[in-house]
Structure 1
Amino acid sequence: MTEYGRGAGSEPWHPEDPLYGDGGWGGQQAGAGQSPYGGQPGHYPQQPQQSQQYGEWGTGQQPAYGQPQQQSPGYDPQQQGGYGGQQTGGYDGQQYDGGWDTGQHAPMPYGADAVDPYGGQGGAYGGEQQDYYRTSDAYPPPEPPARRRPAPEPETDWDPGPDQGEHAFFAGGDDDDDRDDEGSGRRGRGDRRGRGSGTKKRRSGCACLLVVLVFGGGIGGVGYFGYQFYQDRFGPAPDYAGNGTSEKVTVEIPKGAGGYEIGQVLKRAGIVKSVDAFVAAQTENPDGNTIQAGVYTLNAKMSAAAAVELMLNPKSRNNLIIPEGRRNSWVYAEIDKRLELRKGTTAGVAKKEWKSLGLPDWANNNKDIKDPLEGFLYPSAYPVAKGMKPEFVLKAMVQQATEKYEELGLKEKADDLNLKNPLQVLTVASLVQAEGKTHDDYRKMAEVVYNRLKPTNTETYQLLQFDSTFNYLKGESNIHISESEINSNQDPYNTYTQKGLPPGPIDNPGEDALEAALNPTDDGWLYFVATDGMSKTEFAKTHAEFLKLKEKFDASTKQ
């Protein structure tokens, strides 16, 4: 075997190849049959000497399969391999000896097909490959014309017409004309899919029909979903027409609910057809944003606009409205009526369950309080409908009152008003609510309470002398009370005989009365008289002024 790049012929690959032996990088070639690793010859199947080759450097040629490739010798004048010896190498796959051109050649391990620009494949592993180096077959004569294969036609982006290669199906010709004529030498575009396939390609009527159906179905599907998308985004929202059916539906709108949440409640109940339709109708209505929380009785399958109009009508509201200044006894009776319960049911629940209804820790701090819930059923509108439990309704009212009192800061302002606790602040507000006739005189009424509670009061000596407290303990609303009846009663709620505030609130004050209790006037008012016996209240600072006001009252009530 000759050294790599210097012998006249090619030998099969072997461990004694100079690439691995002393003749490789910087050494001498190993002897025949001698292994460079341990001296034992390796047993490998016969295989041609191979190396990946991608092109000829400097010659512009690329030999065909089995043809020798000219090799440029290495630079070393001593013709020794490696650094200081003969070197095998290559640039872009070219084998390189390391010297100036001496005309020597080395075999190309992987030949390239003259037709295929990407090169052919070598022999199989362990196969034989003849060496034509320096023989008459090194440059074989051209193949006969019958075996020659024309060069591939250049590809362009041009789409041929019916007479230049387009399929008969699209050109309107016969399907039988669509063939790949193997003997014609004309390959066309089919050459990339396999040489000499020659299989007949047909589009049967069923296949064509399938294509049309699939294509048409796809267009139909896209059109349908496109229409749905347009309707969802730009079309009108689904809506019923008219005022609905005769079926009545009761719904509860929670506190703080906006248009979208209200629409959801109505849609779930079958009142409106879509949430978007309700939101649009509420937006278009000038009063749409004034819809309040509560229970509403509406019709099934109403148009969104009709539902908004009916919800703005007080007749549709099925709420229990607690007016300012109402006592608990009145509230209990109204709850019984709404829930269609036996009279006294809610009062019994309140008396039994008051500890579990959410009262603040400062409530009911006096053993003389007649009703622990008095003052904590805050005036407002509450959803109360048949089927609900009394304790549920009472708990909602107590929660509303507790939140309001925390908001107003009753607990923090008690000391500033010289009161013992926030319950006394609430009690003052209940007195203002009961004795005041108009919103304008609430602050004056609050000042009267605080001035009479002062230790320096030498006019009434800390006696409030309010008819409202006596009427509360009696469960009445009487403005004509005899002195003998008042003076003979020693109940803690009788402010004619008991100094200071009553044990607890005597009604459920509203926000105006609460604000007045927290911010009274400072004008020195000490007396007041409802001079017309109804709604007109006048105030006085001295006892003499009070007597004059009393004369006016007597005169108005005698007529």
Structure 2
Amino acid sequence: KKPKKRRSGCACLVLTVIFVGGVGGVGYFGYQFYQNRFGSAPDYAGSGNGESVSVDIPKDAGGYVIGQRLKDAGVIKSVDAFVAAQEQNPRGKSIQDGGYTLEKEMSAASAVEMMLSPSSRNNLIIPEGFRNVWVYEQIDKRLGVAKGTTQEVAKKDYKKLGLPSWAMNEPNVKDPLEGFLFPSSYGVAKGGKPEAVLKQMVSRATETYESYGVEKKAKSLGLDSPWQLITVASLAQAEGTSHDDFRKMAEVVYNRLKPGNEQTNGMLEFDSTYNYVKNQSKIDLSLTALRKYDNRYNTYYYKGLPPGPIGNPGEEALKGAVNPTSDGWYYFISMDGKTSEFTKTNEEHQKLVDKWNASRKN
């Protein structure tokens, strides 16, 4: 028999190194795979670093959407950590939409717990139909800044706050943000910045308007732009006395805008447009004064729609504007301040006006 060849010690060493290196490589990548699949997601420790931040959660948002909003705001370290914490909390799925005041660098579990606590939602509530002037004042108070600060920011930087392209550069507009400070609940904490709050509100309005397809709807309703559709919604909001009114009120607007209509000849004649430009809310207005006041928002003086929205319409008014009734309404009056009565002719309307005047002994 031939003598066995002796293996080189060097060769054995190389094989050993390769084997160990291979095992090490497999081990490393295996460890990474395990961590990625089964390890804990990156997370902060504790209940925050003391720096308050406001976060707006959209309607019907799931855990991943909420987590992404919180991560973008610097509240949590990872979306996965938040989703895991939400699932582990028995009440985690009951987190609602709206604004929250939280802290930066919170653990995911702390963020979930905080969002379930009423203390995180001591929020600024914007009611339906309120004008921007009022909203600006409330933001100033919440942020602890000088009166007029937020309004000045809105006037100077409105193009940087997220308005859609169709809401830009409208002529003769009193406030480009009117109609875009959407009625909702917002977390507004002292020490925050007006720009951040306004962006939240504009974003909420834009998301809502897009969900209703305002660009396509405007064309189908015979309007020139979605800007006009939001203006119609604001008129329905301002003149309606209940949610049941909005569809009828929107029809009144559309019917009066029809070219050649013999009822109003294109004049809207809404008291609310005069009140808007005067920043008042009066009921008894002089017809003579209304018809003499030369202002583009005064629909007693100019035909058609005012240059822009006259307040911030809520979702119900928006629904009315995109889906009006088709019953032939041209006139309306509120006899009791709580409900409106609609009529199709001036004669019918005048009977109600006479009845209302008699009740007030005018």
The residue type paired with residue 452 of structure 1 is R
What is residue 547 of structure 1 aligned with on the other side?
Answer: 350
The residue type paired with residue 290 of structure 2 is I
Quick check: 1:493–1:502 contact (8 Å CA) kept in 2? yes
Question: 2:116, 2:268 → 1: CA distance?
Answer: 44
What is residue 285 of structure 2 aligned with on the other side?
Answer: 481
The residue type paired with residue 416 of structure 1 is S
Question: 2:226, 2:87 → 1: CA distance?
Answer: 46
For residue 441 of structure 1, report the CA deviation from its aligned partner.
Answer: 1.5
The answer as to 2:272 corresponding to 1:468 is yes
Question: 1:441, 1:296 → 2: CA distance?
Answer: 35
The residue type paired with residue 291 of structure 1 is Q
CA displacement, residues 112-151 of structure 1 (integer Å, 9 cap, x when unaligned): xxxxxxxx89xxxxxxxxxxxxxxxxxxxxxxxxxxxxxx
For residue 555 of structure 1, report the CA deviation from its aligned partner.
Answer: 4.7
Question: 1:473, 1:527 → 2: CA distance?
Answer: 23
Q: Relative to 1, partners in 2 of residues 1:458 and 1:511: Cα closer, same or farther, differing over 3 Å?
A: same
Question: 2:194, 2:304 → 1: CA distance?
Answer: 34
C-alpha RMSD of matched pairs (Å): 3.8
Question: 1:396, 1:371 → 2: CA distance?
Answer: 18
Question: 1:467, 1:276 → 2: CA distance?
Answer: 50
What is residue 294 of structure 2 aligned with on the other side?
Answer: 490
Question: 1:281, 1:557 → 2: CA distance?
Answer: 62
Quick check: 2:56–2:186 contact (8 Å CA) kept in 1? no
* Structure with the bigger percentage of helix: 2
1:295 to 86, 92, 100: 100
The residue type paired with residue 472 of structure 1 is Y
For residue 434 of structure 1, report the CA deviation from its aligned partner.
Answer: 0.7
The answer as to 2:86 corresponding to 1:279 is yes
What is residue 29 of structure 2 aligned with on the other side?
Answer: none
CA displacement, residues 365-392 of structure 1 (integer Å, 9 cap, x when unaligned): 4421111111122222223212221112
What is residue 402 of structure 1 aligned with on the other side?
Answer: 206
TM-score (norm 2): 0.74
2:63 to 234, 244, 258: 258
Question: 1:275, 1:505 → 2: CA distance?
Answer: 39
What is residue 42 of structure 1 aligned with on the other side?
Answer: none
Question: 1:549, 1:281 → 2: CA distance?
Answer: 61
Question: 1:314, 1:279 → 2: CA distance?
Answer: 17
Q: Relative to 1, partners in 2 of residues 1:558 and 1:408: Cα closer, same or farther, differing over 3 Å?
A: same
Question: 2:220, 2:304 → 1: CA distance?
Answer: 17
What is residue 320 of structure 1 aligned with on the other side?
Answer: 124
Q: Relative to 1, partners in 2 of residues 1:342 and 1:523: Cα closer, same or farther, differing over 3 Å?
A: same
What is residue 256 of structure 2 aligned with on the other side?
Answer: 452
What is residue 537 of structure 1 aligned with on the other side?
Answer: 340
TM-score (norm 1): 0.50
Quick check: 1:329–1:347 contact (8 Å CA) kept in 2? yes
The answer as to 2:247 corresponding to 1:432 is no
- Runs of at least 5 residues in structure 1 that lack an aligned partner in the other structure: 1-52, 54-109, 111-119, 122-231, 234-239
Question: 1:558, 1:342 → 2: CA distance?
Answer: 46
The residue type paired with residue 279 of structure 1 is Q
Question: 2:287, 2:56 → 1: CA distance?
Answer: 50
Question: 2:102, 2:86 → 1: CA distance?
Answer: 19
Question: 1:281, 1:415 → 2: CA distance?
Answer: 48
Count of residue pairs the alignment pairs up: 314
Q: Relative to 1, partners in 2 of residues 1:342 and 1:491: Cα closer, same or farther, differing over 3 Å?
A: same
Question: 1:367, 1:334 → 2: CA distance?
Answer: 27
